[in-house]
Structure 1
Amino acid sequence: MDIKLDDLTGSKIAGLINEHLQGMALNSPQESIHALNLEQLRKPEITFWSAWEGNDLLGCGALKELDPYHGEIKSMRTAKEHLRKGVAKKLLQHIVEEAKKRGYQRLSLETGSMDAFEPARKLYASFGFEYCKPFSDYKEDPNSVFMTKELFKK
Structure 2
Amino acid sequence: MGRKTSQMRGMGEYTIRDDDLTGPGIAALLRLHLDEMHSWSPPQSVHAMPIERLRQADVTFYAAWDGDQLAACGAIKHLDDTHGELKSMRADPAWRGRGAGKAVLHHLLQVARDRGYARVSLETGKPDMFLPARRLYESHGFVPCPAFGDYVEDDFSMCMTLQL
Normalising by the residue count of structure 1, what TM-score does the alignment of the two structures yield? 0.97
Distance 2:129 2:18 in 1: 28
User: Are 1:57 and 2:53 counterparts?
Assistant: no
Q: String of CA shifts for 1:9-35, please: whole Å, max 9, x gaps.
A: 001000000000011012101110000
Q: Say how many residue pairs are matched.
A: 151
Deviates more, 1:24-33 or 1:68-77: 24-33
User: Shift of the alpha carbon at 1:78?
Assistant: 0.2
Q: Equivalent residue for 2:9?
A: none
Structure 2's unaligned 5+ residue stretches are 1-13
Deviates more, 1:21-30 or 1:69-78: 21-30
User: Are 1:97 and 2:96 counterparts?
Assistant: no
Distance 2:103 2:70 in 1: 14
Distance 1:137 1:30 in 2: 15
User: Shift of the alpha carbon at 1:55?
Assistant: 1.9
User: Are 1:66 and 2:83 counterparts?
Assistant: no
User: Are 1:38 and 2:32 counterparts?
Assistant: no
Distance 1:108 1:60 in 2: 17
User: Are 1:127 and 2:163 counterparts?
Assistant: no
User: Shift of the alpha carbon at 1:99?
Assistant: 0.1
User: Shift of the alpha carbon at 1:54?
Assistant: 2.0
Q: Equivalent residue for 1:3?
A: 16
Q: Equivalent residue for 1:81?
A: 94
User: Shift of the alpha carbon at 1:131?
Assistant: 0.3
Q: Equivalent residue for 1:139?
A: 152
Structure 1's unaligned 5+ residue stretches are none
Distance 1:89 1:24 in 2: 20
Distance 1:80 1:23 in 2: 12
Q: 1:30 is aligned with what amino acid?
A: P
Q: 2:82 is aligned with what amino acid?
A: Y
Normalising by the residue count of structure 2, what TM-score does the alignment of the two structures yield? 0.91
Distance 1:141 1:67 in 2: 24
Q: String of CA shifts for 1:63-102, please: whole Å, max 9, x gaps.
A: 0000011000000000011110011111100000110010
Identical aligned pairs, as a percentage? 48
Moved over 6 A (4+): none
Structure 1 residue matching 2:138: 3-state secondary structure:
helix
